[in-house]
Each structure stands twice: as structure tokens, then as C-alpha cells.
Amino acid sequence: MSEVYWGIVIGILAMVATLFVCIDITYSGSKKSHKASNGSVGEPNEAIRQAPTGSRQAA
């Protein structure tokens, strides 16, 4: 077959591989951010509990 044909085939395979890599990055990023958001939910509550409530100061 001609070189042009193989160039088209290789180009299409590269685009499909890029699509799969992008999907993998997207889903792995959403899992990490979901886990991070679960871990950080308790942090603001702890900060509020530790804040002094006895005196009020101007901002």
C-alpha cells in the first residue's frame, strides 16, 4: 500500500490513543479530587472548633 495510506492509518491510531489517554487523565483526576474533597470536609469544622470565641475583634 502507499505511504499516504499508512500515514492516514497511523494518524487515526494516534488520535484514538490520544482520546484514551485524555479519558484516562480525566477520570483519574476526578477520582483524586473526589478523595481530596472527602478528606478536606472535616478540616473546616476542626478550624471552627479551635477558633477562640471569647473575644471579638474587628476585621
**What nine digits make up the cell of 59?**
476585621
**12 is a domain residue:** yes
**1 is a domain residue:** yes
Domain count, the chain: 1
Per-residue pLDDT of the chain (59 residues; tens, 9 = 90+): 788 999 999 999 999 999 999 999 999 877 665 555 555 555 555 555 555 556 666 76
Closest among 12, 58, 38, 34 to 4, alpha carbons compared: 12
The pLDDT score that the predictor gives to residue 33 is 58
Range of the domain at 23: 1-34
**51 is a domain residue:** no
**47 is a domain residue:** no
- pTM of the predicted structure, to 2 decimals: 0.48
